[in-house]
Amino acid sequence: MSYGGQTPTVVVLKEGTDTSQGRGQILSNIDACLAVQDTLKPTLGPFGSDVLLVSNGKTTITNDGATILHLLDVIHPAAKILVDVSKSQDAEVGDGTTSVTLLSAEFMKEARQFVEEGMSSNVIIRGYRKACELACKRIKEIEIELKKGGSKEEGDAEFRTLLKKCAKTAMSSKLIQANSEFFAEMVVEAVQCLDPEELDETMIGVKKIAGGSLEESRLVKGVSFKKTFSYAGFEQQPKKIVNAKILCLNVELELKAEKDNAEVRITKVSEYQAIVDAEWKLILQKLDAIVATGATVVLSKLPIGDLATQYFADRGIFCAGRVASDDLERTVAAVGGSVQSTCSDLTPENLGKCGLFEEIQIGKERYNVFEQCPEAQTCTLLLRGGADQVIAEVERSLHDAIMIVKRAIQDNYIVAGGGAIEMELSKYLREYSRQIAGKQQLIIAAYAKALEIIPRQLCENAGLDGTGLINKLRSLHSRGQIWYGLDFAHESVANNLETFVWEPALTKINALQSATEAASLVLGVDETVKSQPNQNTVGSQPVPPPGGRGRGMPAGMPPTQMHMS
Amino acid sequence: MQAPQGGPQRIPMENLSKPIFAQDEMGRPFIIVKDQGNKKREHGIDAVRSHILAARQIAKLLRTSLGPRGLDKILVSPDGDINITNDGATIMSEIQLSNEVAKLLVELSKSQDDEIGDGTTGVVILASSLLDQALDLIEKGIHPIKIANGFDKACKIATENLELIADEVKIDTESVDANLSKDSDLFKAASTSLGSKIVSKCRDKFARMAVESVLNVADLDRRDVDFELIKVDGKLGGSLEDSKVIKGVVLDKDFSHPQMPKQVTDAKIAILTCPFEPPKPKTKHKLEVESVEEFKNLQEYEQSTFKRMIEQVKQAGANLVICQWGFDDEANYMLLANELPAVRWVGGSEIEEIAIATKGRIVPRFEDLTPEKLGHAGTVREMALGTTRDRILVIEHCDNPKTVTALIRGSNKMIVDEATRSLHDSLCVVRNLIRDNHVVYGGGSAEISCSLKVAEAADKQQGIDQYAFRAFSQALDVVPTSLAENSGLDPIQVLTSLKAEHVKQKNAYLGVDCLGNGTNDMRQQFVIETLIGKKQQFLLATQLARMVLKINDVIISGKDQY
C-alpha cells in the first residue's frame, strides 16, 4: 500500500488527501494551466525570446504563442483549454495569442486564493464575467477611431501610415523587429491589394525562398509561384510576355491512353497505324483548341507532357503543368477568366489577362510572376532569409501583422499597447470594485490585479524593474493619463498613443473575453472523468482504474491508484 | 526546482524541468505535456550558452580552411565515399549534425552558396565569432535581445562602410576578349577565388576557363549571366591541365554504330523524342496475327515504317539524328546504310540543351520534321579521352554560341570533384562582378576597416549598444586573424600592426599578406571580393546571431525515430 513509487500519472488525481470533492481538482487544474503559462511567459513583448522546438525531426523557432502551444502537444485536459483559447484568438484576430494565454492563466491564479478559502466557483465566475463586461465596456469608451481625415487622397495616405504603425507594433516582438519598417510597408501594401469588402487574407500568397537577406523579400502585386517541373523544350518557350493572355486548365496534356482499362484488339496491320494516328489526333485537337483561343500562357493543375511543351514552344506559348491548386486559384482571381476542365469548348472569354508575365530567378529558384493584373485582388509575398527556420518565423510574424492590419481596416478603433490599456482597465476595475459590497469586490479587484500581468511580464522579459515601473504607471493612470504604458527604448514609461504603439481594440476585447471564458471554464470544472486509453504503455504510466477518475477519496482510504500489476 | 522522485529512471532529471511539469498538493508530479519523459528541455541562459558552444565547434572545424593557405578536409560519407574539399558549403553539407543550432549554420552557408556562391566559409566563421562575443556580454548580464539589436545597428554601419571603401573593377564591354588577358580585372578576380583551392597550381588555366565561359553566356548590357547555359562536366583521366572550355555541348555518348563517321561537319541535326521504331498506341492493345499473310504484312509494315522514317529525315535535309530513345539493331543498320549518323538514348535535359544550342526544335513525330526544325552546328565530332574507351560527343560552332561546357580532367575522382567545385566558385565570382562590378579588397582588409569603423562608432553610442558595437568590431577581427593563423603568421601581431597602419595611412586596402608577396596593400596584390558577397556575409551572419540569441527555451521531443 505504498505509493512510494510516486509514479507520475497522466490524469490529475489527488489521492488520499481531501474530503472535499472538487476543490483539489480545481486547484491542480489551475496549477497545470500555470505551468503552461510559465512556458509562454518569456516570449511576450518586444524583448520576448524565442522557443526552439524540435518535434519529429522538424525544427521550429518561434515566438508565436499559438504555434508554441500547438507544438508543445499538451495533453492535460485543463491545460488544453489554454491551447484552445490561443487557437481561437489566432483564428479570430491572429495576434495576441501569447497575451490571451497569459491573461487566462493569471485569472486562474488570482482565483486560486478564493478557491482555497472555500469560495464557490460560481461566485468567482460571476465576478469575472462582470469584470470582463466592464472592461470591454471601458475599452469601447476610450478606444480611438482611426480617422480618414481631409481629402480622400490625403486621408488615404494618412490612414496608411496609421496602419503601418499597427503593423509595426505587431512585429515588435518578432525576429523581424529590426526590419519592421520595411515589412510594415509590405504588409500594408499587401492588405490593400485585397478586395476591400472581403479582405480575405488567404488571397495573400506567401512563398519562401531560402537565401538572401530579409530585406530582399518583395511583394508581387499579382501572383507568383515556383517554376513547376518541366519537360524538354521548356527552355525554348518565351520567358517574358507583355499583355499575356492566360488560360487556366484542369486538363492533362499528354500523349497517353485515354482510358486506363481500355484494350484495343487489332486484327489488321493497317488498323495499327490508324489507332496510333487517332491517339495523336486526340492530343493535337486539344492543343490546337488551346492555341486557337490566342492564349499565350497555359497553366494546368495536371501535368503538361513533353509533347505539349514542345508544341507550345514552337508557337511561342509559355506553359506550366502541375501548378498547385491554391496557386492556380489565386492566379484566376488575379487575372480573371476561369479554370477550364475541358479543351473542347474554349472561348477567348475564358482567358485571363495580365500586363506582364515573367519568369525570374530568385536565389537559385525560378519563379513565374504575373504582374499588372486587372483584378489584382491578390498578391504574393516572396520572403527571403538566411535559413528555412528564419523564413518560417518571418511568415508567422507577417501573418500576425497582416491579421492586425486587416482588423484595423475592418474595425478601425485602436488602443495603446505596451501595457497601457491593461493598466487603464486595471485601474478602472479597481475603482469600480471599491464601490460595491460583498464578495464581488474582492473578485473584481483580483481581476484588476491579474490584468497587470501583461506590463509586469513585459518588464521582466526586458530586464526592467517591473515593480518600480508598474507603480509609476499606476500613479499616472490614477491621475487620468490613460495612455501611459511602458517605453522600452528609454526603459521608462511614455504615452504610447503618441509613440504609436497601437493595437486594434478588437484584439484586446477578444483577448479579454476568451481569456475570461477559459478561466471560468477551468474554474467550473471539479471533476475529470477520463476514459481509459485503449492501449496502456508499460512501465511509467500505471493502468488507471476504469470509471470516475479524479474523484477525491475519503481520507484514510488507500488511493485508487494502486499498482494493479 | 523539485525533482520528481521515482520517475522513470532512464530520463535525466533536467528533462522534467519545472515549467511543463506541475505538482499537486501532495508534491506528486503530474504530466501536462504528452510524452513529457521523452522531451528534452533547456532553458534561459543555459540554452543560449549551449547554442553558442555548438556554433563555436562548427566554426573551429572550418576555420583552418579559410584563405589561400587554408587546408582541405577529407570527408567520408556514410557509404564510404571520400570527398576532399575546403569549400565551406560542401563541408557543412557533408558533415552529419544533430545539434539544431549547428544545422542553422549549415543552412547559413548554404544560402550564401545559393546566392553568391563564394565566401561560404567566411560567413560561418563570422556568425560564430559574433555569437562568441555575445556570450561574454550575456555573462555580464546584458539582455540577449539588446545585444542582437546592437549587432543590427553595428552591421548597418559596417555595410555602409563597405560601400564607402568599395572599388569598381573594369569590365571591358567593348572588346570582350580583352577581359581574357592576364591583366584584366575579371581574370585576376577569378584567379583570386581559386587561390585557396586545390587547382591553385593551374589557376591561370582555370581562371581563364571561368572568365571565358561566363563571358560567352553573359549579356553584358543587361548585366545578366544565365548559369543554366554553363555546364561543368568532370571526366576522370588526364591532368588538370587538360581541362578546357568547349563552346558548345558535350554529350557523354557516342555514335550508335561504330562504322558511322566520327565527325560530321556542317551538321543539320534532327532532334527527336520518338523512338526509331513503328509507333505504338499508348492504349493497351493486342494484335492477333492469324495468318502467315498477316504476319508478312506486319513485317512489311515495320520495314516500310523504317524506310519512311529515314526518308522523312533525309527529306528534311538532316545529316545527323539525335534521339531521346533507343533503336534496335535493325534500325541502326538501316541508318548506317543510309549514311545517317545517329546518337541514341540522349537524356531529356541534354536534348533541350542541344536544341537551344543549335537553334533546332524538338520534334516528337517523324511526320513533323521540316527543314526549319533542324538544328545546325558547325562540327559534331566524337572525341576519345586518353587511352580509355570512353568517348564523348562534342557539338561545336552551334548557331547559338551561348552554350558552353567546361570539361574538367583530373587524375582522380576527388580532384575532379574539387576542381569542379572550385570552378563553380570562380564562375560565381565572375558572374557577380558582371552583375555588379563593385568590389572590396580581400585579405581581411574590408573586415579590418569595418572593425575600426564600428569601434569608432561604439564610443558615440549611448547605453548598452556600446558593448554590442565593440563586440561586433571584435568579432570582425576573426577573419584577418584566421587568415594570418592559417598562413603561419603571428595573428595578434599582424592584426595590430595592420590596424595601426589602417589608421595611420588612412588606407582601407591593407590586409593580411597570406602569400608572402611582400605587400599588404590588397589593391596592389589585387585580392578582391565582390561587394555584394561581403555585404551578404555580414547581413546573414548578423541575422543568424539574432536568431540564436533570441532563443531561450529549447524543447526537443521524443527520439522515437531512433
- Residues B486 and B371 grouped into a single domain: no
Residue A464 C-alpha, separation from nearest chain B C-alpha, in angstroms: 10
The whole-angstrom distance between A312's CA and the closest CA on chain B is 11
B388/B466 same-domain check? no
Residue A1: band (very low, low, confident or very high) from pLDDT cuts 50, 70, 90: very low
Domain stop point among B400, B430, B452 = B400
Is there a single domain that holds both residue B48 and residue B32? no
Q: Say how far apart CA B390 and CA B395 lie, in whole Å.
A: 16
Identify whether residues A271 and A350 lie together within a single domain.
yes
> Are residues B114 and A363, on separate chains, in Cβ contact within 8 Å?
yes
pLDDT of residue A530: 61
Whether A423 and A403 map to the same domain: the answer is no
Are B49 and B27 in the same domain? no
Q: B201: number of CA atoms within 13 Å, CB side? A: 6
Query: Is residue A565 very low, low, confident or very high in pLDDT (cuts 50, 70, 90)?
Result: very low
Give residue-wise pLDDT tens across range A286-296.
888 888 888 88
Residue A324 in domain: yes
Chain B residues with CB-CB distance to A5 below 8 A: 6
**How far apart (Å, rounded) are the C-alpha atoms in residues A353 and A244?**
6
Q: Is residue A101 part of a domain?
A: yes
Say if residue B308 is in the same domain as residue B450.
no
B383 & B484 share domain: no
- Closest residue of A to B228, CA-based? A235
Averaged over A256-278, what is the pLDDT?
Answer: 74
Give the confidence band of A560 by pLDDT, cuts at 50, 70, 90: very low
CB contact under 8 A, B355 and A49: no
- Selected for mutation to probe chain A from B98, B123, B277, B550 (highest A CB count within 10 Å) is B550
Residues A30 and A101 placed together within one structural domain of the fold: yes
Please count the other Cβ atoms lying within 10 Å of the Cβ belonging to residue B324.
20
Claim to verify: residue B24 and residue B127 sit in the same structural domain:
no
Mean pLDDT in residue range A542-556: 41
Whether A253 and A348 share a structural domain:
yes
Helix segments in B116-184, DSSP class H? 120-140, 144-165
Does residue A11 lie in a domain region?
no
B2: pLDDT strictly greater than 50 = no
- Domain residue limits at B54: 44-167+441-557
Nearest to A49 among B29, B111, B552 (CB): B552
Q: In angstroms, rounded to a whole number, what is the distance separating the alpha carbons of residues A346 and A98?
A: 51
Residue in A with minimal Cα distance to B33: A74
Whether A512 and A437 map to the same domain: the answer is yes
Nearest residue in B to A231, CA atom: B348
* Chain B residues with CB-CB distance to A314 below 8 A: 361
Spatial separation of the C-alpha atoms in residues B406 and B425, rounded to whole Å? 13
Q: Are residues B23 and B61 in the same domain?
A: no
Q: Are residues B23 and B59 in the same domain?
A: no
Nearest to A359 by CA among A543, A530, A224, A547: A224
Statement to judge: residues B84 and B103 lie in one domain: yes
Residues A361 and A470 in one domain: no
Asked, for residue B292, whether it belongs to a domain, the answer is yes
ipTM: 0.73
pLDDT band at A372 (very low <50, low <70, confident <90, very high): confident
Q: How many domains does chain A have?
A: 3
- Identify which of B6, B283, B363 has the shortest CB distance to residue A6: B6
Is A550's pLDDT higher than 60?
Answer: no
Q: How many Å lie between the alpha carbon of A279 and the closest alpha carbon of chain B?
A: 7
Domain span holding position A22: 18-145+415-523
Is A542 an 8 Å CB contact of chain B?
A: no
Q: Is residue B14 part of a domain?
A: yes
Q: Residue A16 above 70 pLDDT?
A: no
pTM of the model: 0.78
What pLDDT, on the 0 to 100 scale, is given for residue B191? 81
pLDDT, position A151: 56
Of the candidates A202, A232, A207, the one whose C-alpha atom is nearest the C-alpha of residue A367 is: A207
The answer to the question of residue B161 being in a domain is yes
Q: B122 and B30 share a domain?
A: no
- B23 and B68 in a single domain? The answer is no
Domain count of the fold of chain B? 3
Choose the final residue of a domain: B400, B433, B460: B400
Report angle CA B232, B233, B234 to the nearest 5 degrees: 125
Measured CA to CA, the distance from residue A520 to residue A529 in angstroms comes to 19
- The lowest-confidence range among A205-209, A257-261, B518-522 is A257-261
CA distance A274 to A173: 69
Domain boundary among A355, A384, A411: A411
Confidence of residue B174 (pLDDT cuts 50, 70, 90): low
The size of the A-B interface in CB pairs under 8 A is 288
The answer on pLDDT for B43 being more than 80 is no
How would residue A431 be classed by pLDDT, with cut points 50, 70 and 90?
very high
Question: Which residues of A are catalytically annotated?
Answer: 64, 97-98, 400
Percent of chain A with pLDDT over 90: 12
Is the domain of A90 the same as that of A171?
no
Give contacts of B37 with chain A, Cβ < 8 Å.
540
Using CA coordinates, name the residue in chain A closest to B19. A35
Cβ contact, residue pair A178, B30, below 8 Å? no
Instruction: Considering only residues B221 and A259, tell me which one the structure prediction assigns the higher pLDDT.
Output: B221
Min Cα–Cα distance to chain A from B318, Å? 19
- 3-class secondary structure, A276: helix
Give residue A378's pLDDT.
Answer: 82
Task: Let me know whether A240 and A363 are in one domain.
Answer: yes
Q: How far apart are CA A47 and CA A177, in angstroms?
A: 10
Per-residue confidence (pLDDT) for residue B240, from 0 to 100: 82
From B370, B400, B430, give the residue that closes a domain.
B400
Tell me how far apart the alpha carbons of residues B455 and B441 are, in angstroms, rounded to a whole number. Answer: 20
pLDDT exceeding 90 applies to what percent of chain B? 10
Question: CA-to-CA distance for A18 and A294, rounded, in angstroms?
Answer: 81
Say yes or no for a CB contact (<8 Å) between A266 and B355: no
Q: Would you say residue A21 has pLDDT above 60?
A: no
Does residue A331 share a domain with residue A237?
yes
Task: Select from B394, B309, B380 the least CA-distant residue to B341.
Answer: B380
State the first-to-last Cα distance of chain A, in angstroms, to the nearest integer. 13
Does residue A27 share a domain with residue A82? Answer: yes
In a domain, B220, yes or no: no
Q: Choose between B254 and B471: higher pLDDT.
A: B471
Q: Does residue B203 fall inside a structural domain?
A: no
**Does residue B185 belong to any structural domain of this protein?**
no
Which is the catalytic residue, given B121, B192, B403, B405? B121
* Residue A544 lies inside a defined structural domain of this protein: no
Closest alpha carbon to A45 in A110, A102, A117, A130: A102
> What is the predicted pLDDT for the residue at B548?
87
Q: Do A399 and A343 share a structural domain?
A: no
Alpha-carbon distances, residue A100 vs A35, A92, A398 (angstroms): 15, 12, 19
The CATH number of residue A478's host domain is 1.10.560.10
CB A455 within 8 A of CB A404: no
Q: Is residue A340 part of a domain?
A: yes
Chain B contact for A142 (CB, 8 A cutoff): no
* Residue B469 pLDDT greater than 80, yes or no: yes
Best of B9, B31, B560 to disrupt the A interface (most A CBs within 10 Å) is: B31
Strand-by-strand arrangement of the A204-210 sheet: A204-210, A379-385, A218-220
Residue A214, domain member (yes or no): yes
In a domain, B518, yes or no: yes
Same domain assignment for residues A366 and A445: no
**CATH assignment at residue B497:** 1.10.560.10
Q: Is A18 exposed, middle or buried (0-12, 13-18, 19+ CB in 10 A)?
A: middle
Q: Which residues of B428-453 are buried (b: 16+ CB within 10 A; e: fewer)?
A: bbbbbbbeebbbbbbbbbbbbbbbbb
User: Does residue B208 lie within any of the structural domains?
Assistant: no
Could you confirm whether B120 is annotated as catalytic? yes
Q: What is the pLDDT of residues A401-412, one digit of tens each?
A: 888 888 788 877
> Could you give the 3-state DSSP secondary structure of residue A416?
strand
Q: Return the exposure string of B532-559: e unless at least 16 CB atoms fall within 10 Å of the residue's CB, then b.
A: bbbbbbbbbbbbbbbbbbbbbbbbbbbe
State the best of B21, B24, B294, B361 to mutate against chain A, taking most chain A CBs within 10 Å: B24
